[in-house]
Structure 1
């Protein structure tokens, strides 16, 4: 597949905005009523510029910048093409990057606080107190518990999602007229399919990751492989796909929104910078 290298700042802006819009437009009825650029205008109107760049938006920015960077490194120097296996490696690198810098600490803290809240006598009084308590009790590595499964999950997520999206996009573009731009509805459909494939292929990693970040993980599992072995032998292989439906709904919608907004922002920035 041909690779058009985007400027890092363009990828960062487009990816961050896509993450912000994805967080804002989670409900299907919002998506049906508003086009991506209309959602951006409404977000700016109601929440200002900071509304676009909060929450998971920064994470999406890191993901897209990292993916474009790794794709650039792996692209064929003569033809500028990126094969599907190399796209898979680029996605793997992007996912691992976001796992190290953002996902693992935030998800470890979130999982432990949820577990603590379900106990008869919760010990954490809030996010700040919970984070400080975890670090005091377990050290800085306490918020990096489960780093390996998170890296595997995020790496697999990005590898499968980006490669599926790129491959399907290339196929659809091959059937279109030369120079024809894919409409947002097609881009959304391709992104949604990429999200669906991602869910079913990476769900076991998500289950292991969640178990490894729980409060009981230290007393029950020696490592991620031991955790997976116990789930398989004690609960059966189907346990690895428990909770697929809610994650499926989220990632299918997320895939459609993120890629559609990203493509629109890249076009918008590219058009503005060329005029």
Structure 2
């Protein structure tokens, strides 16, 4: 009689705590690249139009190292929160889409990731990205409109109410849904490939797999990220207006502005995120069998 082994999944408390730690570590480690990507997309550093590393050097030389971390605290807290929402919601949607063994097909993995991205966009990403983008855009002008995160938050609420924090919600949903769908789907596929070829399932494998998934994700979803940045900047463009402005001012290539920086950040951040998550989850639950990601496998018949 055939029997199929049902795989375990990570408990909710372990998932929430592990993902929050992973999100905070990832945000701190990769923030300079996020800062450079945003400045490149907003075209605010003369002579550094497509070079994120030149942006970092230019800003550090003119404004000091601390300027590269403008808006960082908002992103760290927001990232810890949004990653917790992402992994928890992914876990939820996965449980609804998985087969009897607890495994996901690649397409269902992409769907679960997309739904998780939509959830985190509404709950966590849009408000924190709005604050971060305004602060980075504010850093380029002499007459500062905002004085740190609390003042930015107060100014938005006072002028636009809670709706001001959700400026750019549509492109953020498009970006996060596509990003998480592609990233989690490709991570599942690559990790399953490594398992089928008997590669060691350790921190190095998780790091490399995360980097590959992050690289694939950037080039498939970058236009959504660029439009989101323009929509959430001080220019306050709507989604359609932001798209038209990018194309008119920079051409279709402008939709991929900041790709180099985002590749560096997302590949590195994905590697950190999945590696730290799996290490913390393993330490708390005692076994990699309890990791978040349960992959598609071909059940074997056992008599």
Which band: TM-score by shorter chain? 0.7 to 0.9
Residues 3 and 75, structure 1, Cα contact 8 Å, conserved in 2:
no
Residue of structure 2 equivalent to 1:261: 276
Pick one of 89, 96, 101 that aligns with 1:66. 89
Residues 5 and 72, structure 1, Cα contact 8 Å, conserved in 2:
no
Sort the Cα spacing of 1:247 and 1:5 in 2 relative to 1 into closer, same or farther, 3 A: same
Sort the Cα spacing of 1:147 and 1:3 in 2 relative to 1 into closer, same or farther, 3 A: farther
Pick one of 5, 11, 15 that aligns with 1:7. 11
Measured against aligned partners, the alpha-carbon deviations of 1:40-69 in whole angstroms (never above 9, x if no partner) come to xxxxxxxxxxxxx95632322222111111
Asked if 1:202 corresponds to 2:227, the answer is no
Matches within 5 A, 1:79-118: 79-118=101-140
Inter-partner Cα distance in structure 1 for 2:132 and 2:216: 26
Shift of 1:271: 1.7
Q: Which sits farther off after the overlay, 240-249 or 12-21?
A: 12-21
Normalising by structure 1, report the TM-score: 0.78
Sort the Cα spacing of 1:175 and 1:192 in 2 relative to 1 into closer, same or farther, 3 A: same
Inter-partner Cα distance in structure 2 for 1:120 and 1:82: 52
Sort the Cα spacing of 1:176 and 1:125 in 2 relative to 1 into closer, same or farther, 3 A: closer
Residue of structure 1 equivalent to 2:26: 22
Matches within 5 A, 1:180-191: 182-191=201-210
Shift of 1:19: 1.8
Asked if 1:139 corresponds to 2:161, the answer is yes
Gaps of at least 5 residues in structure 2 are: 1-5, 32-75, 290-303
Shift of 1:213: 0.7
Q: RMSD of the TM alignment (CA)? A: 2.5
Gaps of at least 5 residues in structure 1 are: 28-52
Sort the Cα spacing of 1:117 and 1:260 in 2 relative to 1 into closer, same or farther, 3 A: closer
Asked if 1:225 corresponds to 2:247, the answer is no
Inter-partner Cα distance in structure 2 for 1:26 and 1:143: 24
Normalising by structure 2, report the TM-score: 0.72
Matches within 5 A, 1:142-161: 142-161=164-183
Inter-partner Cα distance in structure 2 for 1:127 and 1:268: 34
Pick one of 245, 259, 262 that aligns with 1:247. 262
Sort the Cα spacing of 1:120 and 1:265 in 2 relative to 1 into closer, same or farther, 3 A: closer
Measured against aligned partners, the alpha-carbon deviations of 1:234-272 in whole angstroms (never above 9, x if no partner) come to 531111111111111111111111111222222222228
